[in-house]
Amino acid sequence: MMHTAAERMERVLRDLQPETAFDGRTGPAQALAERMAQCHTPGASIAVVDGRALAWTAGLGRCHAGMARPVTPATAFQAASISKPVFALAVIRLVQEGVLDLDRDVNDYLTSWRVPDNDGWQPHVTLRGLLSHCAGMTVDGFPGYTPDEPLPSPVQVLEGRPPANTPPVRVNALPGLTYCYSGGGTTVAQQAVVDRLGEPFPRLMRELVLEPLGMDDSTFEQPPPPAWAGRLATGHPWKGRPLPGGHHVYPEMAAAGLWTTAGDLARAGLDIMLALEGRPGTLLRQDSARAMLQPQTATQAEGFCPALGFFLRGEGPGLRFYHTGWNEGFVALAIFYPCTGQGAVVMLNANEGNDLMFEIARAIGREYGWPGAVPEERPHLEIARPGRYAGLYAGEAGMRFRVTAEDGAVFLQAGLQRSLRLDATSDLEFLARAVNAAVTFQPDETGAIVALTVHQDGQAVRARLVEPDDGEGAESAP
């Protein structure tokens, strides 16, 4: 049975499932309006991409808490750090046209400021490193300025000179070696592009990206044009309280300065996906789009890998490129699955909506069948010989674990805690679902268990077997 976009949207908006404290488990479904009230989030802008096309956009709630003006699909929100991949599109287009080189020293482009040396050692910093956060630059993000505060120039921001409210941007790690998120590095890239082309940054972005992609409800102007006053959402940092002046101002435009809608950001992501397929009429050529989404580090950090502007997660059909954003009073998420031609953008005008933002994305994923959107239950395996794991294990700092077997099941007691049932997911891997812990057993060359490791919250505790108890039917600890 075919469903209309409106019907699918309504199902999404009724299927918000908050995460619980337990991995893979969510609470009962709630309506979006209910969750927005709980999260003190007045307004939302949402766009969905499906079948390599824009499926629907929606503006929901209010622009300003306690006021009547509704959010519409044309209401502009702050994209925050999602400004960075939109800026990266401009850089890649200029590389495509031969104006810039990703691997040339940015000091060759900079005229109003230069990447300084470190005690006589001059780092080689490139646009590739800056766009992927692998240039070893400082200053991870920017708090912005209230509308009545004096604004620094981008050069004053780079120098950390008043009225800038952040430290100087410097290289404090070996460029090209590791990932370290840096909005300061993005601001270096912004200045390099401006110095190379000699035009104001908002005009460059309008000509290079916004107008060609039909992003008509978007601007990088900071502060936004006076004519936009009636189309801006107000930011709400905490408990639904609006920001004085409505928003902060970000002279670090490439890093945090884009005003836009969910629909406009979806158009940008969709254009990249079409370019990857070699479709005509896209902003980037196919080879440029592929280069933009190439991993820029050899290893993943916490499950993701930086590309140029975006981050990457997953593989095969589950591969997605994405970015999140957090400005004072605003949060945003843009995520796209190039193999399936799907994606979504969620923008909210409250920092307390950060968890809600992901709930909305998960609801969209369930409705549209995104790869991995419905978690697969890890199997509960029958244990052939539960007694082989039984015994007393001793770890560091006096920590002891007692493993027992009863009625074909395995139990773990940690210190003086009551015993926990372990569910087997393989011969050597178990889950203690009640406490979000995983337990792996280590055998010797004969297959006999000699140690275990408990994994919890990104940490691991290893213990060796000191008293085997290979007796099926031993009583579990109290």
Where along the chain do its domains lie?
A: 5-368, 386-468
When pLDDT is cut at 50, 70 and 90, the band that residue 37 belongs to is very high
- pLDDT classification of 21: cutoffs 50, 70, 90: low
Residue in the structure block whose two tokens are 């099926």: 472
With a pLDDT cut of 70, the percent of the chain lying above it is 94
The pLDDT of residue 378 is: 55
Q: What local confidence, expressed as pLDDT, does residue 18 receive?
A: 83
Q: What pTM was computed for the model?
A: 0.84
Across the range 159-186, mean pLDDT stands at 96
pLDDT for the residue 475: 37
Q: Are 223 and 147 in contact (CB under 8 A)?
A: yes
Q: Please work out, in degrees rounded to the nearest 5, the angle formed at the alpha carbon of residue 246 by the alpha carbons of 245 and 251.
A: 85
Q: In 10 A of CB 176, how many CB atoms?
A: 18
Average pLDDT, the chain: 93
> Contact, 94 vs 106, CB < 8 A?
no
Domain spanning 386-468 has what CATH number? 2.40.128.50
CATH class of 5-368: alpha beta
What residue type is assigned to position 367 of the chain? E
- What's the confidence (pLDDT) of residue 302? 61
pLDDT at 193 (0 to 100): 99
pLDDT number for residue 5 = 93
Q: What is the pLDDT of residues 76-134, one digit of tens each?
A: 999 999 999 999 999 999 999 999 999 999 999 999 999 999 999 999 999 999 999 99
Pick from 387, 400, 380, 398: which is nearest to 476 by CA? 387
Would the CATH topology of 5-368 be identical to that of 386-468?
no
- How far is 127 from 105, CA to CA, in rounded Å? 8
pLDDT band at 398 (very low <50, low <70, confident <90, very high): confident
Judge residue 78's burial from the number of C-beta atoms within 10 Å of its C-beta, 0-12 exposed, 13-18 middle, 19 or more buried: buried
Residue 147 reports pLDDT greater than 70? yes
CA–CA dist 275, 285 (Å, integer): 6
Other beta carbons less than 10 A from residue 162's beta carbon: 9
pLDDT tier, 214 (very low <50, low <70, confident <90, very high otherwise): very high
* Per-residue pLDDT at 298: 67
Share of the chain above pLDDT 90, in %: 85
In this prediction, residue 299 has a pLDDT band, given cuts at 50, 70 and 90, of low
Helix (H/G/I), strand (E/B), else coil: 449? strand
- The string of pLDDT tens digits covering residues 194-206 is 999 999 999 999 9
Residue 440's nearest CA partner among 478, 397, 403, 385 is 403
Give me 418's structure tokens. Answer: 């009551």
